């Protein structure tokens, strides 16, 4: 259906194609409902849609091809999909690693219907690029491509070690030489890896300060060993900008549009970015995703890169 082929070897190179999904048609009208579905506040669908259109328009204005998968679903799937309040957090559904697509597996029953919806479309578009999803939970917000050599994966609330073990050979077959597995605290504010750290450039990672105390299990195709997180990142060419204070979602959950530009939330603490000499050189594009962030995720959670060059 599409002429391009998936291709992602980093989190910072120029974003060319991205998959999104419009928010559902449901409001979350009171705090009791919000609490029961794991959201931080009430959400108005109209405002959420305005946020989504700003996200979509900003990406398109930057020259990125945007695919809204909600428009591609067959009618029977749309009936359910339009009522799935978390469906716009597309990052968890799949991940392009190298030239292949790693399919996720839901770690929450509330999100389980989204995965076959998105996977069926990806299978239509790129039938030769997909790997079968693991049999246990793996949400791709826990997967981060550092560079052509290394991938960092969190086994937390939504991703299991068994799932990582089952996919590691596919990752090595794509050409990556190391997978580092970290086991972060299991809380709402540490739900996925990208709520704790993010790649800000080809040589800089932003991370919550507590991560410096965590070891990673470094896997290669034939061996395994332990290193501390900073040691591993330094060895792969990354300095770490440790944040002592942060507003988890807007301050950490951003994406690189290209090596010069970051797409960040209007709610982000800009001082955090301006305090670091490397980030002072970045162009910061701010968008209002406040209503969407109430669902418990940010800009990175809402975007699934299909092509970076």
Using the structure block, give the residue that is written with the tokens 């900003």: 58
In a domain, 124, yes or no: yes
Alpha carbon distances (Å) from 269 to 59, 203, 265: 21, 21, 9
Q: Is residue 3 part of a domain?
A: no
For residue 2, being part of any structural domain is answered with: no
Residue 5 placed within a domain: no
Ranges of residues in the chain whose predicted pLDDT is under 50? none
**What does the pLDDT read at residue 233?**
98
Give the list of residues 6+ apart from residue 79 with CB closer than 8 angstroms, or none: none
Whole-number pLDDT of residue 132: 86
pLDDT tens, position by position, 96-146: 999 999 999 999 999 999 999 999 999 999 998 888 899 999 999 999 999
pLDDT given at position 297: 98
Q: How many domains does the chain have?
A: 1
Range of the domain at 292: 15-308
Residue 145: predicted pLDDT: 98
Return the SS3 of 98.
strand
User: 117 lies in a domain?
Assistant: yes
Q: Which 3 state secondary structure label does DSSP give 187? A: coil
pLDDT of residue 150: 98
Examine residue 8 and state whether it is found in any structural domain, yes or no: no
* CATH classification of the domain holding 192: 3.75.10.10
Q: Examine residue 44 and state whether it is found in any structural domain, yes or no.
A: yes
Residue 101 token pair: 């697509």
CB 179 within 8 A of CB 153: yes
Q: Answer for the pair 305, 13: CB distance below 8 angstroms, yes or no.
A: no
DSSP string, 71-126: GTS-HHHHHHHTT-TTTT-GGGTEEEEBTEEEEPB-SSGGGTTHHHHHHHHHHHH-
> What pLDDT is attached to residue 273?
93
Q: Which two tokens stand for residue 212?
A: 């410096």
185 domain residue, yes or no: yes
């Amino acid at each position: 259906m599409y002429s391009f082929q998936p291709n992602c070897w980093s989190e910072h190179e120029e974003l060319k194609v991205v998959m999104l999904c419009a928010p559902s048609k449901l409001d979350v009208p009171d705090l009791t409902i919000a609490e029961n579905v794991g959201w931080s506040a009430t959400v108005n669908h109209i405002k959420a849609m305005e946020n989504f259109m700003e996200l979509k328009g900003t990406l398109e204005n930057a020259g990125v091809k945007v695919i809204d998968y909600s428009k591609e679903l067959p009618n029977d799937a749309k009936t359910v999909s339009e009522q799935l309040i978390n469906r716009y957090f597309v990052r968890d559904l799949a991940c392009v690693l190298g030239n292949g697509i790693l399919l996720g597996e839901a770690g929450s029953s509330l999100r389980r219907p989204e995965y076959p919806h998105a996977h069926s479309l990806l299978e239509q578009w790129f039938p030769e690029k997909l790997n079968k999803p693991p049999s246990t939970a793996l949400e791709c917000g826990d997967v981060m491509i550092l560079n052509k050599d290394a991938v960092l994966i969190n086994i937390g609330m939504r991703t299991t070690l068994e799932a990582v073990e089952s996919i590691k050979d596919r990752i090595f077959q794509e050409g990556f030489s190391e997978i580092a597995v970290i086991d972060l605290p299991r809380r709402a504010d540490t739900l996925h890896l990208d709520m704790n750290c993010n790649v800000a450039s080809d040589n800089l990672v932003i991370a919550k300060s507590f991560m410096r105390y965590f070891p990673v299990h470094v896997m290669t195709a034939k061996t395994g060993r332990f290193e501390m997180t900073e040691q591993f990142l330094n060895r792969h060419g990354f300095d770490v900008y440790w944040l002592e204070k942060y507003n988890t979602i807007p301050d950490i959950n951003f994406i690189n549009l290209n090596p010069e530009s970051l797409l960040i939330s209007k709610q982000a603490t800009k001082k955090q970015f301006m305090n670091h000499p490397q980030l002072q050189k970045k162009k910061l594009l701010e968008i209002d995703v406040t209503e969407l962030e109430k669902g418990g995720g940010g800009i990175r959670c809402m975007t699934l890169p299909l092509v970076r060059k």
